[in-house]
Amino acid sequence: MKKKLLFVMMIATGFFPGCDDSGYRTETVEYMINEPVFMSATAFRSKEIKTKSAQSIKEQGKICFYDGYLYISEPGTGIHIIDNRNPRQPKAAGFVELDGNTDIAVRNDRLYADSYVDLLWFNLSSPGNPEYADRLENVFEQALPPVENEYGYDYAKCFIETDRKEFIVVGWDLKKRKESYTYYYNKSELMTDYAASPTASGSSGAQGVNGSMSRFSLYKDYLYTVINNCMSIFDLSSAEPVKAVENLYVGGDVETIFSYGENMFMGTPTGMMIYSVKEPLKPEYMSRVWHVFGCDPVVVENDIAYVTVHSGNFCGQNTNELIVIDVSDVKSPAHIVTYTMKKPKGLGIDNGTLFVCDDGLKVFNATEPQKIMANQLAHYSGMDGYDVIPCNNVLMMIADDGLYQYDYSDPLKINQISKIKVGK
pLDDT in tens, the chain (424 residues): 444 444 434 444 444 445 455 556 677 878 899 999 999 999 999 999 999 999 999 999 999 999 999 999 999 999 999 999 999 999 999 999 999 999 999 999 999 999 999 999 999 999 999 999 999 999 998 889 988 887 888 989 988 888 888 999 999 999 998 877 665 544 443 333 333 232 322 334 688 999 999 999 999 999 999 987 899 999 999 989 999 999 999 987 888 999 999 999 999 888 899 999 999 999 999 999 876 555 679 999 999 999 999 876 554 567 889 999 999 999 999 999 999 999 999 999 999 999 999 999 999 999 999 999 999 999 999 999 999 999 999 999 999 999 999 999 999 999 999 999 987 6
Confidence (pTM)? 0.85
- Choose among 61, 92, 59, 97: nearest CA to 78: 97
pLDDT of 260: 96
Q: How far is CA 3 from CA 9, 102, 169, in A?
A: 10, 21, 17
Phi and psi, residue 285, nearest 5°: -65, 130
CA end-to-end distance (rounded Å), the chain: 31
C-beta of residue 95 within 8 angstroms of C-beta of residue 130: no
**For residues 57 and 90, what is the distance between their CA atoms, to the nearest angstrom?**
14
Determine the pLDDT at residue 219. Answer: 96
Q: Beta strand pairing status for 304-309 and 321-326?
A: antiparallel
Structural contact between residues 307 and 297, judged by C-beta atoms closer than 8 angstroms: yes
Which has the closest alpha carbon to 59: 396, 424, 423? 423
Q: Give the integer Cα–Cα distance in Å for 82 and 69.
A: 6
